[in-house]
Structure 1
Amino acid sequence: MNKRILQYENDARRILKALSSKQAKNDMPYPKMAYIYPTYQCSLHCKNCMYKDHIKECKKNKSLDMDLQLFRTILTDLSSLGVMNVELCGGGEPLEHGNINEIIEVVSEFRRNNRMDFGILTNGQSISRLNENTLKIILECFAYIRLSFSEQSSENIRLREEYFNNLSQLLEYKEKNKKLKAIIGSKLLLTSKNKDKLLETVSELLDLGVEHLKIKSIRSPDDEPSFEDLIEVEEELRSLKSEKSANDILQVDLGKTVYPAGFKCWINPLSVTIDPYGGIYICYNFHNDPENMMIGKYNKNNSLSDFWGKLEHVEKIRNINTELVCESDTSCNCRFVEYQNILEKISIEKNNLKHMGNDDCDIRNSLKLKRIDRFL
């Protein structure tokens, strides 16, 4: 993990410098990843959907889909700023966009002409409704396609069968077309109610030949597994990983990153989230506090650069209410929080090595932490 995170060290320094400045100087690095929500459409209506209340509000709009020209404008702008990694996710279900075939064709164009990298996160229920050309483009032009095993799929036999059938269709199509490169994966959420079924599902997915499998715990307070369940399931998954020789396939991430009292998130500029209407948000948990998470809105005449690193952006980062946004004042299961913790530890460790043997090492560490906290 550290090796992967080390690539963000320079960006972390630039972010902290920008946040520590009394005036915005456009020193903020552009994000490494853009999460784009093509639509708020989703036919599953899962009880624990994080976006259900936000989507209710959005249904007052004429459409839940992103305009095709707006999608093209956003990709053009992102590529011009060097933001070359894009994930289509939601929000809603990306593959339920009314013009999904055209959306995927635009992705193909930007992959071919601009060398952008794309991934897609889907519930998988719409795979069978895609035409063959769209399916081929996804497996040809996307770096990965990850099918989330939804709450509904775990409770409804028909939806469960559809999920496995659609996943099988993808794997078989890729097997017949050796040049297709997309990593086909699954994502499952552990809840207080599904721990026994989850282990069975994980075993089935590994037997099916899924190429990547990620297990996380649900964020909903109502269905969150107990600490004892987390320990038990993690041990069982570790045994299953060994039994199935799935070390490179099965990724288990059931815990949350614990942060100290007074924690402030400064790592969020590593990514940007863009909703179907072009709304630009500093965190993909924006639905918990949308007004304070939004820094601007795309239209055909503007750019992310009109908002990114500007004073309003910096102030909104400084004033993130983690208790509201992360739904906790002690921990979060966001991977960027983990990145921040690790980058801070790496910074302190490097400082220790640099000044090893000096009596004032603790003082230097204290000063370094103060520099990190300057923007608070």
Structure 2
Amino acid sequence: MARTSERALRLLSLLGSGRLWPLRELADRLETSERTARRDIETLRGLGYPITTTHGPDGGYRLAQHTLPPLRFDQDQVTAIAVALQTAPTTVFGLADDAERALATLHQVMPAALRTSMQSLRLTRLRNYWEFPAPPIDQAVLAAVGTAVRQRHLLLAEMLRPDGARPEPADPDFRQARRVEPHHLVVWAGRWYVVAFDLSDHRWLVHRVDRLHVRPTAQRFEARVLPGPDLAHFVMSTYDRGDTAAAWQCTGSARLTLPAQVVARWAPGGSVVEHLDDEHCRLTLGAWSWAGIAGILATFDTEITDLHPAELIEACRHLRRRWAALDDAVSFGAQE
């Protein structure tokens, strides 16, 4: 019965988008047979929903206009909902269609004035060169981790390889599934992380959710006190987060005379920080040019050594000559 009700709600949501749905496509979306989908349509009709049928090769089902009680939102809430639904698909895979249907459903139950406001706020999101985006995350994985956090259930988690595959036992990166207590789900720099306590190593960790293969359990755990009072600082200063370097035209690395936790907090998303010792770390990052990487490295205002590859070294030398020429020009102008 619960499954039937869930399917009926999803069917209503699909039909509420306003488009004409062929029966076969509805059945595929509901993951059921055409016969069951047709029965669910009749169930909704019996509840008073005006579902119309169009016959023929291009036919299907559509929910006719009907009156629902308006939702009580103020202007600021409408703006927040419209922006959230239109930007969510950038970090979660497969949400674009669902977000569009959610907007269509909300339009139907908004008072006229707010509906007009919501329709006028249509966003075109453009990526700029300073973004270091991660691939959108699978919403099923996100839901599994989020549910475990909310219900305080242990997770069995395996660390995936950078390409998303599960390591084989003979792989150097292979590790047995870890028993972890997921405490917080965090979004930072377009990436989803889980803050968890690892029962195998008895330590706190921060890890990319899309780099985990998780299996939920029904085993509950008690909340623990976080290792620090500031969750944001803990996440940003944890350098071993399971990050991998973002795919850029140019990728380079350098040894910085700064602790890894300091560099991890300020390094752009899509970079990787490796702990070397208490005073040094290695930063690997990408940009659209070698000069771009050199410029980002300079923002850390510290000693930089052991640069790779040779193109990055040459870019640093070129910038040094450029700035030296500028210094000479300024000095000459001052003398005049």
Which structure: greater helix fraction? 1
Whether these two folds match at TM > 0.5 is no
TM-score (norm 2): 0.24
TM normalised by structure 1 equals 0.22
Greater C-alpha Rg: 2
